[in-house]
Amino acid sequence: MPKVARYPPLTRTELRALYESCPTPEVRRPLWEIDRLPGIKGEVSCL
């Protein structure tokens, strides 16, 4: 039986709105890391 996502993935626009609603370092840092994930995934697959 496939797992059903509890929440659908957020779009880039939704992530930006999240930061704009609460522009603090505590919100900015995890959003920055989320933005970096595709690049990190590419680096790891090259190993």
43 residue type, one letter: E
Type and span of the H or E element at 18 = helix 12-21
8-27 pLDDT, tens per residue?
888 889 999 999 999 999 99
Domain boundaries, the chain: 12-45
Q: In this predicted structure, what is the pLDDT of residue 26?
A: 95
Reduce the DSSP state of residue 8 to 3 states and report it: coil
Indicate whether 31 pLDDT > 70: yes
The answer to pTM > 0.85 is no
Confidence of residue 47 (pLDDT cuts 50, 70, 90): low
Q: In this predicted structure, what is the pLDDT of residue 7?
A: 84
Q: In this predicted structure, what is the pLDDT of residue 17?
A: 95
Tokens of 37: 């994930």
